[in-house]
């Protein structure tokens, strides 16, 4: 039975059913009738081409991937066009295109006869500056002298400290003794000054008696301070004790000076930094006559040839790190929030047919650029399995995998139709009946979609390529409710086809 004839028969059966059950079916039958009539119109109304395009497919499971495909260009990171720092005539070129070199390697240099006098002078001064730097960094004669002086000062300090501590018979806290000793010496010095003033007065000086009284009071204060000091020591603070204390104070001061001198020679970073800066400045001047590799890489182009005259700023060599290839692409503001660092990328090159490479998103700019009239964001993709076939500036097609779902039921996009803003799938039952089923799309690709919380499973059959756009014009207020009520249609299953496997 043809599809059109089947639908016509279904309509006749429905009419008879309606007559027999008019009251019970009036609420639900109208929606089913609309579907039947409209589908007969769409599939059968003289449009044989559209009817022949309609088919039934069986759902399968597979791994679903949603990608953002963007075209970009390859660049090496780091990459540098190395230029001459001064003018002259190219003397020697030591390497060729394709050679791998290490950082600091001299690739080419100007002939000495063509460089300026300032560069030749810098070459001579550089030897002296390097010698001075080595001396500052490695010469230790001054340092060793300071170290020996410090050791001697520490040894003498320990000896003098032992001699001082010997007189502390009572084991009194040294801070109390130092305080008492300071009070005694202050009082003794006051007596000395008053005594000097008193001795300078003549015998009939009317102030001489008052001066003597003040002197005697000061002597009493001094003697009291001395008795307190003797009490704390447990021994008389006589000449021997005082000498040992004075020698200890001198040893402590000498030790402090020795430590300062030693530290200055130990931490000579300022002197070293100055010497290093001088050497660097001279090296920069000398190196301006040479092309030196700033990093490990491969020479991908050479513009310098022996005997040629060159000027300052002229490019001599292109150096690229071919072990770190990056593709920079521009992603629209609509898609950028779907991209994350670490997402896998499938990469193909126009220049390398029938071969696919892998990559990973390694950078996303945080500010957009609207210079092209569209807000776009820079995204960096690192090639994770580069080989010698990939060259800088190759055109690449990068497919950024922004979503992956394993073992998903894959529903053909042609099976998902829109009706009044709702998505539906026409599901074919085992007995040939068709049920319009509302669905919610979780993820959609070019050919297939994955549904959210759907009851559809592998093996279910669905109708595809049904253009329901015209139904929306007639369905009016029925909306999603028009699919309720258990209405059904039957189809000829002879045209079933299997969907392609993903």
Note down pLDDT in tens along the chain; length 502 residues. 444 444 444 444 444 444 444 433 333 333 443 344 344 444 444 444 444 467 888 898 888 878 889 999 999 999 999 999 999 999 999 999 999 999 999 999 999 888 888 888 888 888 888 888 887 777 667 778 888 999 999 999 999 999 999 999 999 999 999 999 999 999 999 999 999 999 999 988 899 999 999 999 999 999 999 999 999 999 999 999 999 999 999 999 999 999 998 887 776 667 778 888 988 898 888 889 999 999 999 999 999 899 999 999 999 999 999 999 999 999 999 999 999 999 999 999 999 999 999 999 999 999 989 888 889 999 999 999 999 999 999 999 999 998 888 888 899 888 888 878 888 898 998 888 888 889 988 887 778 888 888 888 888 898 886 454 444 443 333 333 333 333 333 333 333 333 444 4
442: nearest Cα among 454, 429, 459: 454
For residues 377 and 392, give the distance between their C-alpha atoms in angstroms, rounded to a whole number. Answer: 22
Q: Where do the CATH 2.40.30.170 domains begin and end in the chain? A: 67-77+322-403
Alpha helices, DSSP H, located in 200-303: 208-233, 239-266, 269-287
Confidence at residue 154, expressed as pLDDT on a 0 to 100 scale: 94
The β-bridge partners of 297 are 101
Omega before residue 273 within 30° of 0, cis = no
Query: Tokens 């109390």, residue?
Result: 176
Backbone angles phi, psi at 469, to 5 degrees: -60, -40
296: nearest Cα among 94, 105, 107, 101: 101
Q: Where do the CATH 2.40.420.20 domains begin and end in the chain? A: 3-64+406-497
Fold of 67-77+322-403: Elongation Factor Tu (Ef-tu); domain 3 (2.40.30)
Q: Is 88 exposed, middle or buried (0-12, 13-18, 19+ CB in 10 A)?
A: buried
Stretch (H or E) spanning 350: none
Q: Which residues contact 135 (CB under 8 A, 6 or more apart)?
A: none
Strands 55-58 and 496-497, bridge-based pairing: parallel
Confidence at residue 483, expressed as pLDDT on a 0 to 100 scale: 36
Confidence at residue 467, expressed as pLDDT on a 0 to 100 scale: 53
- Give the CA dihedral 124, 126, 127, 130, nearest 10 degrees: 170
CATH code of domain 3-64+406-497: 2.40.420.20
Alpha helices, DSSP H, located in 368-478: 469-475
Taking residue 439's Cβ as centre, other Cβ atoms within 10 Å add up to 21
Confidence at residue 487, expressed as pLDDT on a 0 to 100 scale: 33
């Amino acid at each position: 039975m043809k599809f059109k004839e089947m639908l016509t028969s279904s309509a006749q059966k429905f009419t008879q059913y309606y007559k027999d059950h008019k009251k019970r079916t009036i609420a639900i039958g109208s929606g089913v009738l609309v579907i039947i009539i409209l589908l007969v119109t769409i599939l059968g109304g003289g449009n044989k081409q559209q009817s022949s395009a309609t088919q039934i497919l069986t759902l399968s499971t597979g791994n679903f991937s949603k990608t953002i495909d963007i075209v970009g260009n390859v660049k090496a990171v780091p990459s540098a066009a190395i230029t001459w720092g001064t003018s002259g005539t190219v003397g020697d070129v030591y390497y060729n295109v394709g050679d791998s070199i290490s950082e600091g390697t001299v690739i080419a240099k100007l002939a000495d006869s063509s460089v300026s006098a300032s560069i030749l002078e810098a070459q001579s001064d550089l030897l002296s500056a390097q010698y001075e730097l080595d001396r500052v960094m490695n010469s230790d004669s001054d340092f060793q002298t300071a170290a020996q002086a410090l050791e001697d000062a520490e040894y003498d300090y320990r000896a003098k400290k032992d001699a001082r501590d010997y007189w502390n018979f009572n084991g009194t806290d040294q801070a109390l003794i130092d305080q008492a000793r300071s009070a005694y010496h202050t009082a003794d010095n006051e007596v000395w000054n008053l005594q000097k003033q008193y001795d300078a007065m003549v015998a009939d000086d009317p102030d001489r008696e008052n001066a003597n009284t003040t002197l005697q009071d000061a002597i009493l204060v001094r003697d009291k301070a001395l008795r307190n000091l003797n009490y704390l020591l447990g021994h008389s603070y006589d000449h021997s004790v005082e000498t040992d204390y004075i020698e200890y104070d001198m040893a402590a001061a000498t030790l402090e000076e020795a430590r300062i001198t030693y530290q200055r020679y130990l931490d000579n970073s300022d002197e070293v930094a100055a010497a290093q800066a001088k050497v660097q400045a001279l090296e920069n001047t000398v190196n301006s006559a040479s092309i030196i590799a700033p990093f490990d890489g491969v020479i991908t182009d050479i513009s310098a040839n022996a005997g040629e005259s060159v000027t300052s700023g002229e490019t001599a060599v292109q150096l690229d790190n071919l072990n770190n290839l990056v593709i920079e692409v521009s992603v629209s503001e609509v898609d950028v929030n779907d991209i994350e660092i670490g997402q896998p990328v499938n990469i193909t090159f126009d220049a390398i047919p029938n071969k696919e490479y892998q990559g990973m998103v390694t950078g996303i700019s945080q500010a957009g650029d609207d210079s092209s009239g569209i807000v776009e964001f820079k995204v960096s993709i690192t090639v994770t399995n580069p080989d010698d076939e990939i060259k800088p500036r190759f055109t690449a097609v990068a497919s950024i995998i922004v979503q992956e779902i394993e073992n998903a039921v894959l529903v053909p996009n042609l099976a998902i139709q829109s009706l009044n803003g709702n998505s539906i799938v026409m599901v074919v039952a085992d007995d040939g009946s068709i049920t319009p089923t509302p669905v919610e799309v979780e993820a959609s690709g070019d050919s297939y979609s994955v549904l959210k919380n759907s009851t559809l499973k592998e093996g279910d059959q669905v109708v595809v390529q049904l253009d329901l756009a015209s139904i929306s014009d007639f369905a009016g207020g029925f909306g999603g409710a028009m699919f309720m009520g258990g209405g059904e249609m039957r189809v000829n299953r002879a045209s079933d086809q299997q969907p392609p496997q993903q």
